[in-house]
A and B are shown apart, each in its own frame.
Chain A
């Protein structure tokens, strides 16, 4: 009899302790909820999407000034240095048709199309090989499809550069800061030894702004949610013939070109 009594007391004690801790946890949670920074809040202004994507209407981009304005908008806001060697850094740049669309779709393209410049940037792939190969998760894909970099975790192994089929990544072979004329204090500069690339302006989306290149393009670059049939990108893709770079390798790029 006494042993059962002891057992009962034991169980009762344990239960009381358990209840006590669980209620204490509830209380702590309630307090923590009100503490600053307890919940990740991007603010009411932020732009959200299920799958961010970009459509470049190449017909609307004609002069060298158009491209330079767009490239400058990106590179100045992101502190991208201009290094005049093979070890250059670039997030967005231009090249000719044969270099951009290497599959050589038509041998007899109209000269206007072949001679034109095309913008290149990170494709923010659905299946990004760079993310697959990164040994530290320093580069990763966000839930909204944007492939971003953690410059503080990157060990500079450059596996992602070997993995990227689009040549979208740059490595800081040396200290990039001496090559910056005007530093934008709102965006971090990088140190040597890390990889960097276009971020689809994730930092601007957070405060409700469209990417810098989109803003500077005067409507030639569209940006929106690929999963939303009413988004500007989906409307443009529905109405026009569009292509992507190296479609056969299965990366599913998020950058479309209307040619």
Chain B
């Protein structure tokens, strides 16, 4: 099926070339980083993780969100999703690849990364994170490829693949739970030390991941005419709406616990993010309020059926939902965890230009992989008459 990549329109190759050149810029910035070290980033002794790890976290969620198509389709036999499912699985592949790239770009000694396997350390959550991510990549590649191959030959997928499909459902929950455990088990970080972290991660993932998928699928419909079906879009939008409502609810639970209990340690990160700490207002404050307003706005546009089912409004609602969840999880989560620092003071973090360039480069690589995989899927569908 890989040969489908070789036969494409000029526009497809120009698109790949465009992504490739952005990826090239990222690689250039990364070579710069290899040369000088992570000193070219905005990270510091007190804020020792930054944009790379936060993007890793965000995209684990995007990867896990494929389950929101797989679960209804295979556990509840919701046939309407079957047409779109391969797109979700392939998006998971590119998202996991991006996660891995973000981990590698964040390492101080990337050439030693095999030490995680050579010296396996079961007490470290990072060890499990590596295992579940690699496993998820494998499962999605296998399931995606086998089911697409079956579709191409117009036969039912082999029975044994069912096992991997069910496994992928459990596995999707596990990848984001384990990623949440990276944060939730650290005794000195108030913003992260919360039992609801994994639940928050999953709810925000199941809102933002399918939202990104739907936005991309709508773009695809414009470009190629591939129609996932009106009902499939509406059902997925409902899932997104529930997940986002739960996500906002979970966040408010954090706010209640921190402020009603009156415990300073629990309040400080939240006050830092939304008003500043000790008279020190950071650039993040504006972003966090933007996220809060956009999150509410997205719910206002998604909950009433007349807006939700209006396909002119829907892309806007999904777009602002993605922005809100990205700021919350791709920015606030990391910065709030590290600020105030262990000395209850504020060390500012802002990503530097090379850091942003590397990040955008990884996005471009992810989007390239996604474009190639989706092209294969759509060409196979065209041939098989399931387009």
Q: Which of A95, A193, A194 has the most CB of B within 10 A?
A: A193
Please tell me if B106 contacts chain A, counting CB pairs below 8 Å: yes
Which residues of the other chain, A, contact B257 by a CB distance below 8 angstroms? none
Interface residues of B in 154-205 (CB under 8 A from A): 182-183, 185-189
Indicate whether B230 reaches chain A with its CB closer than 8 angstroms.
no
Residues of chain B within 8 A of A153, CB atoms compared: 112, 115, 119
Q: Contact residue range for chain A?
A: 35 or more
**Binary interface profile of A, 184-202, with partner B (CB < 8 Å = 1, else 0)?**
0000000011110000000
B383 interface contact, C-beta 8 A: no
> Taking CB as reference atom, which chain A residue is nearest B341?
A167
Partner of B39, one of A104, A138, A165, A173: A173
Query: Given contacts A135-B116, A167-B46, A167-B341, are A155 and B121 in contact (CB under 8 A)?
Result: no
**Distance, CA A250 to CA B186, complexed state (A):** 12
**A134 CA to B182 CA in the complex, in Å?**
11
A133 and B109 contact, CB distance less than 8 A: no
Q: Is the interface of A mostly helix, strand, loop or mixed?
A: loop
**Chain B residue contacts of A193, Cβ below 8 A:** 37-38, 107-109
Q: Is the Cβ of A171 less than 8 Å from the Cβ of B45?
A: yes
A129 with B108, Cβ < 8 A, contacts A99-B344, A173-B39 known:
no
User: Are A86 and B347 CB-contacts (below 8 A) given A154-B108, A156-B107?
Assistant: yes
Assembled-state Cα–Cα distance A95/B343 (Å)? 9
Q: How far is the CA of A137 from the CA of B37 in the complex (A)?
A: 22
Q: Report the minimal beta-carbon distance from B36 to chain A, rounded to whole angstroms.
A: 6
Given contacts A165-B188, A165-B342, A158 and B46 within 8 Å (CB-CB)? no
Whether A172 pairs with B108 at a CB distance below 8 angstroms is yes
How far apart sit A242 and B123, CA to CA, in the bound complex (Å)? 32
Q: Is A231 an interface residue (CB 8 A)?
A: no
Which of chain A's residues 85-105 have a Cβ closer than 8 Å to chain B?
Answer: 85-90, 95, 98-100, 102, 104
Q: Which of A85, A89, A134, A155 has the most CB of B within 10 A?
A: A155
Quick one: closest B residue to A161, CB to CB?
Answer: B48
Q: Is the interface of B mostly helix, strand, loop or mixed?
A: loop
Q: Which residues of A contact B261 (CB under 8 A)?
A: none
Q: Is B126 an interface position by the 8 A CB rule?
A: yes
The CA of A102 and the CA of B119, in the complex, are separated in Å by: 36
Interface size class of B (residues with CB under 8 A): 35 or more
What's the least CB distance linking A139 to chain B, in Å?
A: 10
B49 within 8 A of A: yes
Q: How far is the CA of A156 from the CA of B116 in the complex (A)?
A: 11
- Report the minimal beta-carbon distance from B163 to chain A, rounded to whole angstroms: 30
Contact B126 A158 (CB under 8 A): no
Contacts A157-B107, A174-B37; is A129 near B187 (CB within 8 Å)?
A: yes
What residues of B have a CB within 8 angstroms of the CB of A99 in the complex? 343-345
Question: Given that A156-B109, A167-B342 are contacting pairs, would A134 and B188 also be in contact in the complex, using a CB cutoff of 8 Å?
Answer: no
> Does B124 touch A at the CB level, under 8 Å?
yes
- B101-116 toward A: CB 8 Å interface, digit per residue (1/0)? 0010011111011011
Q: Are B121 and A100 in contact (CB under 8 A)?
A: no
A134-B124, A135-B121 given; A155·B116 CB < 8 A: yes
The reply to whether A249 and B187 form a contact with Cβ atoms under 8 Å apart is yes
Chain B minimum-CB-distance residue to A130: B186
Asked if B125 is at the interface of the complex by the 8 Å CB criterion, the answer is yes
B253-271 interface code vs A (CB 8 A; 1 in, 0 out): 0000000000010000000
Instruction: Establish whether residues B124 and A135, one from each chain, have CB atoms under 8 Å apart when the complex forms.
Output: yes
Interchain nearest-CB distance for A183 vs B (Å): 19
A165 to B185, CA, bound (A): 12
Q: Hey, which chain B residues are within 8 Å of A136, CB to CB?
A: 112, 115-116, 118-119, 121
A119 at the interface (CB under 8 A from B): no
**Nearest Cβ on chain B to A99's Cβ, whole angstroms:** 4
Which positions 59-115 of chain A face chain B at CB distance < 8 Å? Answer: 85-90, 95, 98-100, 102, 104
Contact A132 B188 (CB under 8 A): no
* A residues near B187, Cβ cutoff 8 Å: 129, 163, 165, 249-251
Q: List 26 A-B contacts (CB under 8 A).
A: A86-B347, A90-B45, A95-B343, A102-B343, A104-B264, A129-B187, A129-B188, A132-B123, A134-B121, A136-B112, A153-B119, A155-B108, A155-B112, A155-B116, A156-B108, A158-B48, A158-B106, A158-B108, A162-B183, A173-B39, A174-B37, A174-B38, A174-B39, A175-B37, A193-B38, A193-B109
Which 4 residue pairs of A and B lie closest in terms of their CB atoms, listed nearest first?
A156-B108, A165-B188, A193-B108, A86-B44
Q: A136-B118, A154-B108, A172-B108 are in contact. List 16 more A-B contacts (CB 8 A).
A: A89-B45, A129-B188, A136-B112, A136-B116, A156-B107, A157-B103, A157-B108, A159-B126, A162-B186, A164-B342, A165-B189, A166-B342, A167-B343, A174-B37, A192-B37, A193-B109
